[in-house]
Amino acid sequence: TFAQDNFIYISYSTGAVQAQGSATVGWRYSRFKLDPTTKMIDTLSEKVLIFVPAGTSARWHTGGAMQFDGFGNLYITTADNEAEALGPGNTADLRGGTMRIHPDTTDPRGYTIPAGNFGEYWAAEFTKQNRTALAAKYRDTTKVKAQIYIKGSRNPYGMSVDKNRLGWVAWSECGPDAQRQEEYNISNHPGFGGWPFFSGTATRQTAKHGSYDEANDVTTAGWAAFNPTTNVSTALANNLAGLPGVDSLPPMLPPIMQEANGCAQGGAIIRYDGRINNPGMMPPHLDNTVIYGNFTQNTFGAAKFDTTTGVAVGTTAAVFTMTKTGRPTLNNPVDIQQGPDGALYVTDWGGGCCSGSPGNTNSGIVRVTYTGTCQDPGLYPGVTTAVSKAIRGDVNWLRVGGTSFSVLSNGLHEVQIMDAQGRMIQSINGKGWKDYSMPSSLNSNSVYFLQVKTEQGTAVRGFVAP
């Protein structure tokens, strides 16, 4: 709504520099008014939406990514602030996860709570399992903060949401130095990421991390009792005595990919919209793909995901490296997002790392455009734009895999398979729910379009032949 209200949303630390958070020391998530003429922020217009008590003195891991979805909801990542049982493992604390709120100027708080957040979602799930006592705890907002959407994160520095699908969020997790796993995650519902009990898919944290110094948190001596071997990813428990939150936690969300070294960044969800007339936009075969980066490895990768389950389809693959022929040279990605023009935007830290590179002169924001042969067929001279215009949004009656596709619609349907320039390769007429194999004549690693017309409408998807 920025075009109408000129509101901007900012996260920052406030208060004295001290190790422990307090009522005045921590993280603020605020709304400000921007003057459209002077392009200056009116600091007196600040509306503090959420305040999270957090340490600010050498207490790393702040998170702080913020993004709106297409439904007016604001997602905000928070890191563990070097707390463990009392941070990401504590449902009564906002550190170590992702919040979801709905900014609303008519509400005294400045926002409302969207339906289906962490507590409400898991109360419903536990009710289905006849675990009514546990469900009651998850409905209690003194035990489960209402703003929580994702919990159990270490340092979700990069995050992206699917603006067209409610509740879809992708984020990266910077892993610990010991027992390290870098995580790349995506989920279409509230969940628990596993930290501080596990990193990656199944790397158990067998000891307290030495620099973590949250007051009254689990101790080095008490770690074995806090995270015993009976604590498994499908049945997690926070065993800290006197825990303010709920001790029984949801099953762990597995990442779609993990790496043993580096520094995970990004998580841009790529969506292809054929209504955008931009040759440099991300190509149609990257629709429903997460683009991630590695800060220390200076590389990017892509993971295709199932639009129903969120599970990665096939194996992840590198799509490009940070090396480029022009200037400036890219160095270390810290954020990756798809812009409204369909291109990719990368925030580049530049040389060095962290506090060791003050005065960095080669940081910036870089626009990455696509120059390959799989451009929108509507951009080819003499080729109709009808195909490209249909590649947008989502339908629940078409599923596309690597070697097959399914039409999940009653009535008649027409299937057309085309090459990247919109030229017909095969046409199929069918009726009712059908599973089809891709033609064996398709060239491996080449890009094609699948157009399906049903009584419910028309859908077009790009895919790469195996």
What is the DSSP secondary-structure string of 371-382?
-SS---GGGSTT
Query: Is the domain of 224 the same as that of 360?
Result: yes
Query: Is the domain of 74 the same as that of 123?
Result: yes
Which residues of 61-200 form beta strands (DSSP E)?
63-68, 74-78, 97-103, 111-112, 148-151, 159-161, 169-173, 182-187, 191-192, 198-199
Quote the CA–CA distance of 379 and 322 in Å, as a whole number.
Answer: 27
In a domain, 376, yes or no: no
In a domain, 356, yes or no: yes
* 137 φ/ψ sector (left φ>0, alpha ψ -120 to 50, else beta): alpha
Query: Is the domain of 300 the same as that of 404?
Result: no
- The pLDDT assigned to 188 comes to 92
Token pair in block for residue 348: 């580049």
Query: Is the domain of 315 the same as that of 412?
Result: no
Quick check: helix, strand or coil at residue 3? helix
- The pLDDT assigned to 359 comes to 58
Query: Is the domain of 339 the same as that of 406?
Result: no
In a domain, 258, yes or no: yes
Query: Is the domain of 273 the same as that of 207?
Result: yes
Query: Is the domain of 125 the same as that of 61?
Result: yes
Query: Is the domain of 122 the same as that of 240?
Result: yes
Domain count, the chain: 2
Quick check: helix, strand or coil at residue 323? coil
Quote the CA–CA distance of 392 and 378 in Å, as a whole number.
Answer: 14
Query: Is the domain of 212 the same as that of 302?
Result: yes
Q: Domain range spanning residue 13? A: 7-368
In a domain, 385, yes or no: no
Segment-wise mean pLDDT, segments of 10 residues, the chain, 466 residues: 90 92 95 94 96 88 90 95 95 98 96 98 98 98 98 92 90 78 89 93 87 90 94 94 95 86 83 80 83 78 73 52 46 86 88 62 83 62 48 68 84 86 83 90 78 85 74
Q: What are phi and psi of 122, to 5 degrees?
A: -75, -25
Query: Is the domain of 143 the same as that of 257?
Result: yes
Amino acid identity, residue 456?
Answer: Q
In a domain, 374, yes or no: no
Query: Is the domain of 151 the same as that of 18?
Result: yes
- The pLDDT assigned to 324 comes to 40
Quick check: helix, strand or coil at residue 158? coil
Quote the CA–CA distance of 71 and 166 in Å, as a whole number.
Answer: 7
